[in-house]
Structure 1
Amino acid sequence: MPLPLYLLALAVFAMGTSEFMLAGLLPDIASDLDVTVGTAGTLTSAFAIGMIVGAPLVAALARNWPRRSSLLGFVLAFAAAHAVGAITTSFPLLFATRIVAALANAGSLAVALTAAATLVPPDKKGRALAVLLSGTTVATIAGVPGGSVLGALLGWRATFWAVAALCLPAALGVLTGLPARRERSDAADGPALRAELAQLARPRLILVMLLGALVNAATFASFTFLAPVVTGTAGLSELWIPVVLVLFGAGSFVGVTVAGRLSDQRPGLVITVGGPVLLLGWPALAVLADEPVALFALVFVQGALSFALGSTLITRVLYEAAGAATMAGSYATAALNVGAAVGPLIAATALSTAAGDLGPLWASGLLVTVALLIAFPLRTVVTAGRGAGALR
């Protein structure tokens, strides 16, 4: 894989850390800015909504910009938003910085996904996507727990400063790593925006976007609410929460890495084998969550399977949207973030059921069930061919 992919992954790592870090910082932020924890929680919603809306919107606005320049601008805007957030004493301003950061993240990820697909041969998109998404998985392993520790030691503002600082080497990497010959925009020689948006009328593209969103919703439904399972159902101390999150992140890294080697040529294997096992894993985790050893093992396995299946489906989005040279990455980003926004909302509703803290785990199982019920009758459509040409 070419070096620029790993430099793009560094930027994804910084942004992934920011997207997930608030889970451990909300009480601190609420106390410091004199708001309720519930109000502080809207910062997470602001980021997710900004990502969903921002991915196609920013990608459309930036389609005529040179790729390297637009990526650099997005990364620097993301850093600036965190610097402002680190010094503000106003919650509305902090809320606004999260929206700006989400828009910058959405634009960066959309362009990066498209760039990653063009930096490799047409039949290697899955491996390229795996490298790029490794930035997100490493963020769950190291970035998020590290941010929580930093926030506990030095306050939540220090974590914001750390994310801003991470963006600087990422920006330098984008500037020096992406080849100058790609400085022309894709829109210069590609189809018109209307033609790219028309790709969304293709049933196969809508199908893989829907499946990717459902699997990602299941992933984030449980990931968001793992903490009460650890301290409540399993009866462990709060010190074990970062351990469980790291195990989930380590599993996700393994899943993305393995799937990256299979999703180009054998996506059917990942979906037909990984899908049912993932489905069985969520209720198994709900039943065995009171056994710490089983909890740790299943969290790792579910992290691996969730990201293996999810990244494979998102790779299919890139293949199916190959006719949208500048917008394909935004379609993949939107699918990911619809899941990231909807999953926790469904899980929060499940918390009020008789299942209690285990409700999100059962909700994840239900979401994967829906995905598989849709996918299996249409599996030849979902997994057809290796490359974009074969998928048409």
Structure 2
Amino acid sequence: MNPRIFLLALATFATGTAENIIIGILPDVCDGLAVSVGLAGQLTAVFSIAFAFSAPLAQLLTVRVERRTIFLSALALFVASNLVAALSPNFAVLFIARFAMAVASATVCLVATMLATELAGPDMRGRAIGVIFMGISGSMVLGVPAGMVISGLFGWRSVFVALALFALLIIVACYVSLKPSGRRPQGVSGYWQHLRSLPLVAGQLVSILMIGGHFVLFAYLAPYITDRVGLGQMELVLAFVAFGVAGVSGGYLGGWLADTATPRRAIVITPLAYLLALLMIPAASSTPWTFIAVMMVWGCVSWMISPVVQSFLMVAGPDTADAGIGLNLSAMHVGVALGTAVGGFTLEAVSSHALPSAGAAVAGLAVAASLVAVRRRARAGRTDDRPCSGQTEPGR
């Protein structure tokens, strides 16, 4: 695989760390700015909302501006917004900095995915997307804990300084290593064409529903493990580490499955495997080590879906592939909001014990959507599972 793809993954690692770091340093931010936990928590919410709206808009920007230029500019905005966050005198300035950070992050993730698929070529396209998502999932395993350590040693502002410096190094490396891209995607018409295709819309629903099913339980995993499995605080930390490690491997495995089994098969296999893993969790919860093993399978499969769906969107609708990726990044965040809401309602109305079943119900809808997606070929572009050809591959 082209080593420059791993450089792009480092960029998504940085932006992924920025998205989730507030969760790890929340008490320090509250103390530093004299705000409540509830108010400080909105720094994560604004990031997700801004990210969801920015991804499709960033794709439209790539119609007029060369991709490498957009990518480096987005990283520069990411550096600037992190420095503003580090120097923010009050919550309002930090809130605005988080908004700008999210816009930069959405653009980086979108363009990094586009560039990675070009660099990899058709035969390894799924694995290239998987590597990009390994950067995102790896940020939760390594980036967030590292940020917590830095915050503990030097204060919460130093975390944003560290992210800015890390991103600055990535800018230099990418400026030297990446060559301009020759591709130009469709504009607004690409979105309309994409949304008129039932299989492509169903593919987007697979992302929303499977990620939604995931967050029904994941958003409240700590209380579930404490109440149902009975793990102590130290064991709980180790369980989350194991979950994160499994998630990192899932990103690459999803891409590998799409490349080897074809995206049409992979988009059915993955949500079905995920549904089975969720259904196994209640039975495994009576034994801690069995639960951790099943939880790792669950975590691994949960991170497979994005490379699988994006590979499917590229093959089923190659003419609208870039629009599809932009929409899919937004769909992921819609799934997070859906799952968190369903999980919260389940927790309040029933109990934490019902969370896996509620998640499985949503994941079952993802399986149904996957069957609709493969029922017939998308009518936009090619009509087989073979990779698209004739695309400019920068730097090859």
Whether TM-score is above 0.5 comes out as: yes
State the partner residue of 2:297.
301
Change (3 A) 1:376 1:202: closer
Residue 195 of structure 1: CA displacement?
4.3
Change (3 A) 1:130 1:195: closer
Change (3 A) 1:30 1:289: farther
State the partner residue of 1:374.
369
User: Could you tell me which of 207, 210, 214 is aligned with 2:209?
Assistant: 214
Matched residues in 2 for 1:382 and 1:314: separation? 15
Matched residues in 2 for 1:252 and 1:193: separation? 34
Change (3 A) 1:376 1:75: same
Correspondence 1:42-121 to 2 at 5 A: 42-121=42-121
Matched residues in 1 for 2:230 and 2:15: separation? 32
Determine whether 1:261 maps to 2:260.
no
Q: Secondary structure of the residue that 1:323 maps to in structure 2?
A: helix
Larger mean Cα displacement after TM superposition, 123-132 or 48-57: 123-132
Residue 378 of structure 1: CA displacement?
4.9
Q: Secondary structure of the residue that 1:324 maps to in structure 2?
A: helix
Determine whether 1:347 maps to 2:346.
no
Is this contact kept in 1: 2:110–2:325, CA < 8 A?
yes
Change (3 A) 1:92 1:198: same
Is this contact kept in 2: 1:67–1:111, CA < 8 A?
yes
AA aligned opposite 2:224: V
State the partner residue of 1:41.
41
Question: C-alpha deviations, 1:84-134, integer Å up to 9, x for none?
Answer: 112213111111111111111111111122222222322432111111111
Change (3 A) 1:22 1:239: farther
Matched residues in 2 for 1:56 and 1:258: separation? 26
AA aligned opposite 1:251: A
Is this contact kept in 2: 1:230–1:236, CA < 8 A?
yes
Is this contact kept in 1: 2:202–2:372, CA < 8 A?
no
Q: Secondary structure of the residue that 1:2 maps to in structure 2?
A: coil
Matched residues in 2 for 1:73 and 1:315: separation? 26
User: Could you tell me which of 244, 254, 266 is aligned with 1:249?
Assistant: 244
Percent identity over the alignment?
27
Change (3 A) 1:21 1:294: farther
Matched residues in 1 for 2:321 and 2:215: separation? 29
Is this contact kept in 1: 2:204–2:331, CA < 8 A?
yes
State the partner residue of 2:313.
317
Matched residues in 1 for 2:20 and 2:98: separation? 12
Matched residues in 2 for 1:370 and 1:10: separation? 34
Matched residues in 2 for 1:100 and 1:290: separation? 45
Is this contact kept in 2: 1:17–1:139, CA < 8 A?
yes
Matched residues in 2 for 1:41 and 1:225: separation? 15
Q: Secondary structure of the residue that 1:114 maps to in structure 2?
A: helix
State the partner residue of 1:7.
7
Matched residues in 2 for 1:284 and 1:52: separation? 32
Q: Secondary structure of the residue that 1:298 maps to in structure 2?
A: helix
Computed over aligned residues only, the root mean square deviation of the Cα atoms, in angstroms, reads: 2.6
Matched residues in 2 for 1:74 and 1:192: separation? 19
State the partner residue of 2:392.
none
Change (3 A) 1:346 1:119: same
Residue 231 of structure 1: CA displacement?
3.9
Residue 273 of structure 1: CA displacement?
4.1
Change (3 A) 1:44 1:262: same
Is this contact kept in 2: 1:283–1:362, CA < 8 A?
yes
Change (3 A) 1:81 1:241: farther
Matched residues in 2 for 1:166 and 1:299: separation? 32
Q: Secondary structure of the residue that 1:25 maps to in structure 2?
A: helix
Matched residues in 1 for 2:152 and 2:232: separation? 16
State the partner residue of 1:386.
385
Q: Secondary structure of the residue that 1:143 maps to in structure 2?
A: helix
Question: C-alpha deviations, 1:195-235, integer Å up to 9, x for none?
Answer: 45433222222111111121122233333322323444434
State the partner residue of 2:220.
225
Is this contact kept in 1: 2:63–2:186, CA < 8 A?
no
Is this contact kept in 1: 2:315–2:384, CA < 8 A?
no
State the partner residue of 1:139.
139
Question: C-alpha deviations, 1:252-288, integer Å up to 9, x for none?
Answer: 2222222222203413554444433321322432454
Residue 43 of structure 1: CA displacement?
1.3
